[in-house]
Chain A
Amino acid sequence: MRIDYRIDYPVRLRVNFEVAGFTILLGQSGEGKTTLFRALAGLLPAEGEPFGGLLPQHRAVGYLPQGYALFPHLRAWENVAFALPRGPQRRAQALELLLRLQLVDVAEQYPAALSGGQQQRVALARALARKPQLLLLDEPSSALDAGTRDEVMAELISEIHEFGLPALAVSHDPHLAALADRVAVMSSRHIVQQGSPAEVLARPGSAAVARLLGHRNLFTARVAGHETSTGVTLLRWEAANGTILRLPQQSELAAGQLVQWMIAPAAVRLPSLEPEPHHVDNPVAGRVEARLNLGAYFQVALRCGTERLWLAAQSNLVRKHGLETGCEVTVDLRSDGLLCWPQLG
């Protein structure tokens, strides 16, 4: 389903992107994501497709706002039945939906007695009862505990898949992007990139997208020149004592130009422990400043000049290298893992 909307008030917004399966629209707070949802639900004046020009009550949209907006004066099943047509089957249909979402035990409870995750699923059941053509989820992970968030979201997404509905979730949480079928990134009130999560996460189209996706190793450097014979562009990373970085040639960059570059922590390699010499792309020296033990692997922060470079490595490798806080190490930044964009403004 293609979404093409133009909004003038309360924020000026123009978006055009594809929703397929569970799609995440990623953007900072204040980008107008909630505004877009309200417009899609017909609660704000806007132009566009789908549903253009229809009154809110005639739009087949299942809207789950942030905080879920369950009716506090109605029991869980009554909340679900709210969207169903009047008739003797109403309660049975509501209970059936609650059963499919494993909520039948709380059917008689009022929303105040439900946990955040249960409230979210009741809101989902209520939205599904509307028989929507499109589900809208506003910051679906924001009210969930950090500990159970991924699990609850994965379950929610698989339930939405089961119902076979296209769903659009807006979020500023890059965590969610990895769980989705499709990602669209919004910056400066426009869609700046869209595609599969793997594509978008591996190849952010700009530094702004990289930042929204939660990439940590984002730095500034200056183009030192091109080696046309070897097909290499050279960057001088001034903040790290003028270290020179080599990456596949990007001819559009002019020498002396400021650029932003990034590397995924997993593309930062520790030196080989074997005696024979290995090819090294970009040696960078740093001092270990912090170590985060994440179980199977470590995240290690290296101090390089005035910057902090993160690397992710398997725990056994980190132990073999004896990477304690304060020790010096020279890592290799893989050329094909380096991404760089002209600095804007």
Chain B
Amino acid sequence: MSAPADVQSADGLPRARGPVMIGAATLLLIAGPFIALTFATHWSDFHFASGDVGSIGVSLGYSLISLVLIVALGTPLAWWLARHSFHGKWVLEAIILLALLTPPLAMGILLTTLYGPYGPVGSLVAHTGVELTNSAPAFVLAQFYGALPYYVVAARAAFEGVPRELEHIALALGKSPWQTFWLVSMPLARLGLAAGIALAWVRALGEFGIVLILAYYPQGIPVKLWVNLQDIGLDAVYPLLWVFFLVAMPLPLMLGLASRRQRLF
């Protein structure tokens, strides 16, 4: 990294240097653990433990399913929160806040209480032959609960950032509320929605606490990392971690770039 001798931004105007220096130092702090990882990895003896490849499939496949569910169910809720005001709205906000601040382990326990074989919902669903613990649906459920509140918060902010006047003009130009939503609100909220989707993806893929309690099986990457650490040791953690980065990174990176109309190179 070269020293910021000539600090200019995209618009060509000179900028203060202090924030850039502090920013660079902060970035170095963030990058520290990953730099350490490159040194700690035994590159000459890079191999996977048994079950690692399967965990990659589990993580990617089920995270995608959770993401689709989160966007499908979270977007209307975010829209409702952003565009309607009514008495007692704070209760809704408190519920979402509750979901955000519950520690993952505790959330796993709560979900097991509700969806577990002896829980009210779990026992009911069990009659249809679907198990909501230690199963694929349980895994998706755990990721859904872990990531949904983050998406709703981000998407709500995105919708709130759309000037209402533009939605009103769309109505005055003869569009129905539904057309207005798709033609004006959604495109104008795309930056924030893309950020919300990226955040939800990262949260879902990295979810450990809830998954550990509700769906120890099938094992996705985060749980498999822990199992590898317990059963084999650190050397079995690093290769899987590298793969995790490799598969987790493209979606949020591309969403971020696409929504800002930037190119990678």
Please give the residue numbers on chain A whose beta carbons come within 8 Å of chain B beta carbons, in ascending order. Answer: 38, 41-43, 55-59, 61, 63, 65, 67, 69, 71-73, 82-83, 126-127, 129-130
- Chain B, range 147-206, C-beta contacts under 8 Å to A: 163, 165-166, 168-176, 183-184, 187-188
How many angstroms from the CA of A82 to the CA of B183 in the assembled complex?
9
* Most chain B Cβ neighbours within 10 Å, of A43, A57, A59, A129: A57
Minimum CB distance partner of A129 in chain B: B173
* B188–A73 touching, CB < 8 Å: yes
* Residue in A61, A72, A129 whose beta carbon sits within 8 Å of that of B172 in the complex: A61
Q: How far is the CA of A72 from the CA of B191 in the complex (A)?
A: 13
Chain A residue with Cβ nearest B175:
A57
Instruction: Report 5 cross-chain contacts, Cβ distance below 8 Å, ordered by A residue.
Output: A56-B168, A57-B176, A69-B165, A73-B188, A126-B173
The 5 A-B pairs of least Cβ separation, nearest first, read: A56-B171, A83-B173, A41-B172, A69-B169, A63-B172
Q: How far is the CB of B62 from chain A (nearest CB, A)?
A: 34
Given A57-B175, A82-B183, A83-B174, are A72 and B169 neighbors across the interface (CB < 8 Å)? no
Besides the known contacts A65-B169, A71-B166, 19 further A-B residue pairs in the complex with CB atoms under 8 A apart: A38-B168, A43-B171, A43-B172, A56-B168, A57-B171, A57-B176, A58-B174, A59-B172, A63-B169, A65-B165, A69-B168, A69-B169, A71-B170, A73-B188, A82-B170, A82-B173, A82-B175, A83-B173, A127-B173
A27 to B165 Cα, complex, angstroms: 22
Report the bound CA distance from A178 to B172 in whole Å. Answer: 29
Residue of A nearest to B168 (CB): A43
Which residues of B come within 8 Å of A, CB atoms? 163, 165-166, 168-176, 183-184, 187-188
Q: Which residue of A lies closest to B163 (CB)?
A: A69
* Residues of chain B with a CB closer than 8 A to A73's CB: 187-188
The complex places the Cα of A92 from the Cα of B180 at a distance, in Å, of: 23
Measured in the bound complex, the distance between the Cα atoms of B263 and A190 in whole Å is 57
CA distance A38 to B176 in the complex (A): 17
- Taking CB atoms, residues of chain B closer than 8 Å to A69 are 163, 165-166, 168-169
CB distance from B172 to the nearest CB of A (A): 5
List, in ascending order, chain B residues with CB within 8 A of A71's CB. 166, 169-170, 184, 188
A126 to B168, CA, bound (A): 14
Residues of B within 8 A of A38 (CB): 168
